[in-house]
Amino acid sequence: MQYLIKDLSRLTGISGARIRKWQERFGIFSPQQGDNGYWYYDSDDYLLLRSIGKRLSEGEKLSHIIQLGSTKLLQSPDEDKFNAENWELIKIIQKNSLHTLRRTFEAQFQNSGMKPFLKDYLRQKIIMVGEAWSLGHLSVAEEHSFTRFIFSFLSEKIADLQTDDTPRWLVATFPDDPHELGAFMHYCLLLHKKIPAKYCGSLPEKYLIKEIASPNYQVVSLSLVVPQEPQKILELKQTIMKHLHVRKVIFGGYGYTKVSQQTDL
């Protein structure tokens, strides 16, 4: 994964000027210059910057943080971050023991039913697994395998809820946001409520708008996990509403909650 300085700034809330200054003074990041002259940062640079930002917000001094060095800054800060149940789940994922994972999730699903399973149980587990990845307990491959597992587990759960009715409701992520799980969980809930919907995941804006041009859709749900500029959200809404058959555009997801807490969207 490659990031421009503006991406790092958007993702961490630390200004580009500050990142540049830290790089000039301490040389802690390892950007590579592309053929186009731009400097590209990698996932470690992102995690490093995030760790620095977190420590600064907790009151640590910058000079002390820098002295720790990148290896230490990228290490897990605390082992007691996860409770026993979550450690168990992390170990299951590390071992790629998908049948055990399936049994665990199946028991939860049977106990709670679709809505609480998605909103309370699964959402927490997804976030926990993301945290375990960012602390170095899970590899990118293990996190991806977990994501694929969830898609297949949920697809099986909704198989009997799908009908041949024309879908009036389209569910997608905000264009180019790769976080498709939240949107898919929202889609599962709609089917559970017997609403004929279609899920198209993450698409570039051009293809999303092309799909919405179909006169079938009356409602469009867009899921943001990575927060976006409010202006960008409003512009997309206006573009979609130009299709007069669309009566409602709904935004939701972790990123949208974050943006709407900070603005009056």
Site for ligand B12 in 50-89 (CB under 6 A): 50
Residue 15 in the binding site for ligand B12 (CB under 6 A): no
Judged by CB under 6 A, which of 226, 239, 241, 260 binds ligand B12?
226
* Distance set, CA 242 to CA 121, 177, 248, 253 (Å): 38, 22, 11, 24
According to the binding rule CB under 6 A, does residue 17 interact with ligand B12?
A: no
Of the candidate spans 42-50, 64-72, 88-96, 232-240, the one that interacts with ligand B12 by CB under 6 A turns out to be: 42-50
Q: Yes or no: say if 138 and 129 are a contact pair by the CB < 8 Å rule.
A: yes
C-beta closer to ligand B12: residue 67 or 121: 121
Tell me how far, at minimum, the Cβ of 251 lies from ligand B12, in Å: 6
| Contacts of ligand B12 in 167-196 (CB under 6 A) | 178-183, 185-186
128, 82 contact by CB (below 8 A): yes
Nearer to ligand B12, 12 or 100 (CB): 12
Instruction: State which of residues 2, 104, 108, 147 lies at the interface with ligand B12 (CB under 6 A).
Output: 147
- The candidate with the shortest Cα–Cα distance to 174, out of 145, 209, 146, 149, is 209
For ligand B12 (CB under 6 A), the number of binding residues is: 31
- 55, 81, 102, 123: which one contacts ligand B12 (CB under 6 A)? 123
Nearer to ligand B12, 65 or 122 (CB): 122
Residue the block writes with tokens 């879908």? 167
**Binding positions for ligand B12, 230-259, rule CB under 6 A:** 250-254
Interface residue with ligand B12 among 2, 4, 11, 239 (CB under 6 A) is: 11
DSSP string, 148-214: HHHHHHHHHHHGGG--SSPP-EEEEESTT----HHHHHHHHHHHHTT--EEEEES--HHHHHHHHTS
Using CA atoms of 226, 46, 125, 250 in order, give the dihedral in degrees to the nearest 10.
Answer: 0
Residue 130: Cβ-neighbour burial (10 angstroms; 0-12, 13-18, 19+): middle
CB atoms within 10 A of CB 250: 14
What is the binding site for ligand B12 (CB under 6 A)?
Answer: 1, 11, 43, 46, 50, 118-119, 123, 126-127, 130, 143, 147, 178-183, 185-186, 221, 223, 225-227, 250-254
